[in-house]
Structure 1
Amino acid sequence: MSKKAGRYSYLLRPLTTCIDLIAINVLAQVWFSTTSEGHYLFHIVLSIGWIIAAVLSDYYEVYRHTKLVSMAEKVCKQFFFQFILVASYNGVFDRFAEINDLMGYCISIFVVICTVKFTIFFLLKYIRKFLGGNFRNIVLLGSEKEICDLKKVLLKRKDLGYRIVNHFFTLEDASLEDLKQYLSQHQVDEIFMQFSFTKEKNFLAILEFADNNMITVSYIPTQKDILNHNLSLEYYDLIPVVPRRVIPLDKPYNQLVKRLFDLVFSTLVIVFILSWLVPLVAFLIKRESKGPVFFKQKRTGLNDEEFWCYKFRSMHLNADRDREQATRNDQRITKIGTFLRKTSLDEFPQFINVFLGNMSIVGPRPHMVVHTKMYSKRVNRFMLRHLVKPGITGMAQTHGYRGEIENDRDIINRFKYDLFYLENWSIFLDLKIIYLTVYNVFKGEEKAY
């Protein structure tokens, strides 16, 4: 199972969002001289309003196949909302600007931010077309005219950054095995499949294999398919493409909301809890047994990338720590470790992981690397849980599937909850899971050992 290629394009949206917020606030200072204490509220409203407007206008929903006309439409919507916001604030609260200043401010942020947005957009196109970077390896599956048309478009439009590494024409048994073998041996990011293959007998086998190897699947419909089905379409030039799965946390503003929540929550815990909890727990751990205060272990995170997960050490030093999970009446667990695990205090150092960005407050619990490899062979689509960041707590843990995995039923049901979370995420679901986690700690859990 190959890991995804290292890419940093996912950082572009947070980066451009920060640049945009800095620009609109600095230019507001230049045009309106908002230095008095009463105008701090204006900058807060300006920033929050920008983000809300971005959600409404899909301002940051720009992808490699997005057309310039669509980008221009998003920009116009965004700046219309922003002008209304600034003008309304100026009219309702203290009048701090004349109409000329308002127009000048809006024109200046339009010029500055459009320059940044389109520069990044065209720079990425240049990198894909001439430098061969920021690419995705794809496999085409099918022989219909639409697949062939898409192939011509992608070969011609190097700026889209899609490398066609192979083309399979059928889903017959022999072709299916060849396809699986090829996908196993090569790093493939996405499969573009003709829509009619959804009726083939081997269709589900392809989906399962793709999910288990974290390969995205998209469908290429005919005009008849489009007319007969209510399909959500994306266009690559004039070629319609149907995304298979929509994940809420793929949307940049959902990512931003979740990351801001994680940062604020983890910062508060680090400052107000870990600051005194660490020395206290360190004293108790050191008093009972030799070894480090913190236990760190390689776990599987977002996009199957490994990271160091931190916990308070709750066991005596042992050679099996990276292979065997804790079991009931485990002799490796210390006395203070029993208390830490029972109260979940051993997990608190993971708020440092959250602050650093390798984990989230809520998400699928990360497994040891050896267990990830083992469960990925036993549970279909298991690798899908790595499409979001792992969490300190998760939906499965609040529904009775915490701790030791004793049989296949445990891991299958845990994965079902993880998949539901992946496909139905909302900030309110996160808050509910946090509440249930705290409730279960005080209520006591049978598998908290």
Structure 2
Amino acid sequence: MKKRYSKFVNPLLSIIDLVIITLIVYLIGDKEYLNKSFLIYTCFFWFFSAKATRFYNINRNTRLFQLLVLLIYQTIIFTLGYFTYFGFFREGEIIYNQTKILFSILITIWFFKILTFYTIRLYRSKGNNFRNIVILGNDSSTKKIKEVLVKDKDLGYRYLGFFSNKLKSNKEYLGTIKDSYLYILNNEVDEIFCSLNEVNEIDIKKIKKFANKNNKILKLIPNSKEIYNKDLSAEFYGNSLLILNVKKLPLEISENRILKRFFDIIFSILVCLFIFSWLFPIIILLIRIESKGSSIFKQTREGINGEEFLCYKFRSMYKSNSLDNGHTKKNDNRITKVGSFLRKTSIDEFPQFINVLLGQMSIVGPRPHMNIHSLKFDKEVRNYMKRKSVKPGITGLAQISGYRGEIQKKSDIENRVRLDVFYIENWSFILDLKIITQTTLNIFRGDEQAY
């Protein structure tokens, strides 16, 4: 099995840029500028502005012109943000030293970015860091893409052959479209180029599902009548050959996962310091006054990719052997009076911020289920397994939409899964903030479905 390191290139480049910024501030800047607030602001603004400009979204097919456009956009936005700091905190000072630091940062990063761009392309042109590709279809468009990929060696593609239902006596012919599935799995194929002229709509759906399940990159070669949708993005190979790229899910992009994890850590630390620190002992005392037993309830739940972990909650039931049996029902006689309040306000979930800090959960995501329930729902509910592609959350889109509590009929779990899948496919940082805000409001006004 070949090891792939390409996914680490852009995160590594972003870390190197932050190191460059830090070193320049310390080596070139005057002592009066060597303060933590300036350095933290500069690094954070670079990181978030780079995300906004998609500065690190460089792929094999990115051309020098596109790289220069990204550099110009990032330079303009970072320069405005850089001087904004001095406008707010160091107003009226001579700008010579400020400008010297800024120019040094930008010139160094421009040089490093372009040098890295050509170094990687040279490395790939020598036959390194390649990706195996196959083509589904055999028409004029597929022949053009094959010519580009074989000719431009610095793209780093290794062409293995093509599949077609229109049999051709050709040494590159590998079999029918149906034969491609097994070949792709057995020959470590990384990318699939598929002609929309030859492959029908039904087969396209099968190929998309196959590619997603087996973590293969799928690119579509369009015909003149193709209608684009939000799941596709256009890119050019060579000078004019259009290819449709099947987009990744938002949380399959490393920058988005880093942003989400960073927010999880900061938000959880703040909750633990300013809320949990004084609320925790009060709740423990109330729980123990009403009933005997541990104040923290631990239960094995399924996390990302089905990995099991211990999920923490404040105990809201009388201690008995039936705590793990089934979902809680309305007017459940196992629930204590204190527990009823904790569930109504969702405060019983607060210990899960510890799970977030441990990396087992996220603040927002599909709720984690027990293994026995997952096995049952996987057989009954379409797309249920897709929930496991992200970390489970303390709260989620389904919960703020009223789908929580007891599952009384099949539509209850179907609606939860539908909203969970929508969240996964449409994730954004703003959506997370909206869900957290709505959850906070529900804590104060209570939720009828929380019992």
State the 1:59 CA deviation: 0.9
1:286-320 per-position Cα deviation (integer Å, ceiling 9, x unaligned): 6634457341423132x555544333344535488
Moved more, 279-288 or 425-434: 279-288
2:332, 2:189 → 1: CA distance?
42
Instruction: Tell me by how many angstroms 1:409 deviates.
Output: 0.9
Distance 1:44 1:181, change over 3 A: closer
Task: Work out the CA distance in 1 between the residues paired with 2:280 and 2:122.
Answer: 46
Q: How far apart, CA to CA, are the structure 2 residues paired with 1:165 and 1:289?
A: 67
Q: Which amino acid in the other structure matches residue 421 of structure 1?
A: Y
Q: Which amino acid aligns with 1:365?
A: R
Which stretch has the larger CA shift, 308-317 or 414-423?
Answer: 308-317
**2-structure distance, mates of 1:350, 1:441:** 16
Equivalent residue of 1:129, what SS? coil
* Other structure's SS at 2:298 match: strand
* CA pair 300-335 structure 1, distance change in 2 beyond 3 A: same
Output aligned runs, 1:50-449, within 5 Å.
Answer: 50-63=46-59, 65-67=61-63, 70-79=66-75, 81-82=77-78, 93-97=92-96, 101-102=100-101, 105-106=104-105, 109-110=108-109, 114=113, 129=128, 141-144=136-139, 146-147=141-142, 169=164, 192-196=193-197, 199-201=200-202, 203-204=204-205, 207=208, 213=213, 215=215, 218-222=218-222, 224=224, 232-235=233-236, 240-245=242-247, 247-250=249-252, 254-285=256-287, 288-290=291-293, 293-301=296-304, 305-315=307-317, 316=319, 318=321, 321=324, 324-330=326-332, 333=335, 336-449=338-451
Question: Gaps spanning 5+ residues in structure 1: where?
Answer: none
Give how far 1:27 is off: 0.9
Distance 1:185 1:330 in 2: 53
Distance in 2, Cα, partners of 1:333 & 1:164: 63
Q: Structure 2: how far apart are the matches of 1:167 and 1:403?
A: 51
Residue 241 of structure 1 deviates from its aligned partner by: 3.5
- Measured after TM superposition, the shift of residue 269 of structure 1 is 0.7
CA distance in 2 between counterparts of 1:325 and 1:185 reads 43
CA distance in 2 between counterparts of 1:59 and 1:262 reads 23
Distance change >3 Å, CA 325–CA 236, structure 1 → 2: farther
Structure 1's 202 and 63: CA in aligned 2 closer, same or farther, altered over 3 A? closer
Contact 1:299/1:309, CA 8 A, preserved across alignment: no
CA distance in 2, matches of 1:237, 1:374: 50
Structure 2: 5+ residue runs without aligned partners?
167-175
Distance across 2 between alignment mates of 1:395 and 1:165:
44
CA displacement 1:208-267 (0-9 Å, x = unmatched): 6666x47566342246357x7686313566764323345444556554543443222111
| CA deviations over 1:180-201 (Å, ceiling 9, x no partner) | 8899999998765332477534
CA distance in 2 between counterparts of 1:9 and 1:277 reads: 46
Identity over aligned pairs, percent: 38
Moved more, 430-439 or 144-153: 144-153
Equivalent residues of 2:301, 2:308 under 8 A apart: yes
Paired with 1:119 and 1:307, the residues of 2 have a C-alpha distance of 45
Amino acid at match of 2:344: K
**Secondary structure of 2:406's aligned partner:** coil
Aligned residues: 433
Distance 1:215 1:102, change over 3 A: closer
Q: Measure the CA separation in 2 of the matches of 1:272 and 1:66.
A: 46
Change (3 A) 1:328 1:98: closer
DSSP-derived class of the 2:382 partner: coil
Give the letter aligned to residue 56 of structure 2.
Y
Judge conservation of contact 2:197–2:223 (CA < 8 Å) in 1.
Answer: no
Alignment CA distance shift 1:80-1:201 (3 Å) = closer
| Contact 1:362/1:390, CA 8 A, preserved across alignment | yes
1:402 Cα shift?
Answer: 0.9
Higher relative contact order (CA 8 A, sep 6+): 1
- 1:59 alignment partner, SS class: coil
Contact 1:129-1:158 at 8 Å conserved across structures: no
Q: How large is the RMSD of aligned CA atoms in angstroms?
A: 4.9
Q: Describe the SS at the equivalent of 1:366.
A: coil
Q: Quote how far apart the aligned CAs of 1:13 are.
A: 5.0
Letter in 1 for 2:194: M
Report the Cα distance in structure 1 between the residues aligned to 2:17 and 2:83, rounded to whole angstroms: 19
CA distance in 1, matches of 2:22, 2:82: 12
Preserved contact between residue 246 and residue 423 of structure 1 (Cα < 8 Å): no
Q: Report if the CA contact (8 A) 1:54-1:78 is conserved.
A: yes
Offset of residue 43 of structure 1 = 3.7
CA displacement at 1:400 relative to structure 2: 1.2
1:284 and 1:6 mapped to 2: Cα distance?
Answer: 54
Cα–Cα, structure 1 residues 218 and 102, in superposed 2: closer, same or farther, change >3 Å? Answer: same
Q: Computing the radius of gyration over CA atoms, which structure comes out larger, 1 or 2?
A: 2
Q: CA deviation at 1:393?
A: 0.9
2:57 partner SS = coil
Amino acid of the structure 2 residue aligned with 1:383 = M
Identify the match of residue 28 of structure 1 among 12, 25, 30: 25
Q: CA deviation at 1:397?
A: 0.7
Q: How far apart are the structure 2 equivalents of 1:50 and 1:414? A: 38
Q: Distance in 1 between matches of 2:332 and 2:210?
A: 37
